[in-house]
Chains A and B, each alone.
Chain A
Amino acid sequence: MTTTNPPAAAVPVTKGGGDRPGTPAGRVRKKLSSPLATGIAILIAAFWSVPTFGLLISSFRPEDEIKTSGWWSFFTDPQLTLDNYSEVLFGGSASSGQLAGYFINSLVITIPAVLFPMAICALAAYALAWIDFRGRDWIYILIFALQIVPLQMALVPLLRFFSQGVELFGVQLLPAWGLSGEELFIQVWFAHTCFAIPFGVYLLHNFISELPKDVMEAARVDGANHPKIFRTIVLPLITPVLASFGIFQFLWVWNDLLVALIFASGGGRDTNPMTVRLAELAGTRGNEWQRLTSGAFVSMIVPLIVFLSLQRYFVRGLLAGSVKG
């Protein structure tokens, strides 16, 4: 599977790296590894972890405690409860989070919105890398450049496309979709899929174009056509990369607020993902800390699991997408 490593991801070229005093990192570190530098490193690490840690502790403290004393007083007066979680997930009143339903919405939105771009981008990246046709470079550059079109530019027209269809000079070319309720999920999948393509093609293209030429040519000589090569040779080879794109897309969709606000909010409780609900709670009930803290952790738990268990692929994807050459 070494072929799937992009040139940039082959990171530790030098054996030993910064450990030896000779490497630049090692030398700078030596200079920096004064007590002062160690202190700064610890300070940064603390600054990065303490806010999350505080929220985690708070989410388990009883409501009265959260609202009247800081989470650090937990160390002198430890009280734990799961009430916040059961309240925010399953609470009966409209003002409680009722996050369980929103959790499912997030799940329903995310799964297809990850699968579709993976397949579509893999196909496109393969064509751009291995099928010889005129204008290939230009199409690739166009797709790459689209990566940087702000989402905001697409929102209003795309929403109109869904609600009114396409009309040109008074002729209805495409009908309005006219979706409602749970059907709004389709809109969200569609929007997320469109928005993911530029980055996905770029990321996968980096890997696919580095596959060994001999293998492809041998397959061609044996009479395999492109769909067959794609299915039987390329797909197995790019699985780790596909996974890294999948993780990116998963985190992006699960954590998205803007797209969901615009394309899903028509369905209210039936379609809104957790991010929308949380933003709502933070806005209207900003002082209900017992719900905000536990709600925030409910929304983080799935991405954290995905992230921590698949971190290796995620980092590899980052490196491939960012430091090529």
Chain B
Amino acid sequence: MRVTGRATARRGVARTGLWAALAAPGTLWLLALFAVPFYAVAAVAFGYTDPLFNAPIPEWDPRYWDVTTFGEVVQRSLTGDLRPVFLRTLLYVGVALTVCVLIGYPVAYYLARHAGRRKGLLLALVLAPWWINYITRMLAWLNLLQDDGYVNDLLMAGHLISEPVRWLSGNPYTVILALVYGYIPFFIVPLFSTLDRVDERLLEAARDLGCTGARAFWHVTLPLSRHGLMTAAAITALPMFGDYYTTTLVSGSPTTTMVGNQIEFYLLGGSRKELGASLVLILSALLMALMAYYLIATRRAERDLT
């Protein structure tokens, strides 16, 4: 009886609009900081450039949108000079994500299941790099990885290599490694929170029903953590796609240029901001498709559980 009573009470409050009001700040936030800027990007992409000052003039009225530049960028992305950039970005993010899974899953698993009382401390340590500013951390890598740096010294001392590895000379492995390093805490934390909530009794039940540890993991823990795994992948992949500074710092070579670098070039350096804005739209469309897939997949994962 009390349950129904509470439910009625809640419906009563809903009628007063309290719940809607509670959502208002979030809605306003989203409108002000996402929808409006996104529309502005579209207005620049479909607008034109003031020939005198080289400044973009956004076209706010969709009736007058000029899509020639956008078409040019789409075409260049499919067949032209931007195609290798997109493919490279997809490859780097894909590999970096795989590495994140290989490194991050065991870490999150250990934290959630075996860390015991040290859980809090270890979680804090995973986030510890965040106490230091991003540039400083990356510059530290530059010192470690330079030709006569400690990494090469160590590898040479161990006779693993005979001459220094050129880590910083446009080496795609370094870029991927730097991406993983930069974003892996984003991966571990959401995965940890999912794994932490996995009901121990389900695993006990699996054991009771004759599963080995490995099979229990495969049939119970892994499916239950699928949702967290996808959230972690989405949270990590989205910023990686837009990253341009990591590759600038650890490589700087044209052979490791990512989409973000070309966006930066056209928006900051060039006279054609509408081209950079079009590139932003295309990247966003790609990310939106991925996000849509993520939403569908997580919903499916949730439904599988019930």
Q: Do A and B bind each other?
A: no
Using CB atoms and an 8 Å cutoff, list the residues of chain B in contact with chain A.
Answer: none
Using CB atoms and an 8 Å cutoff, list the residues of chain A in contact with chain B.
Answer: none
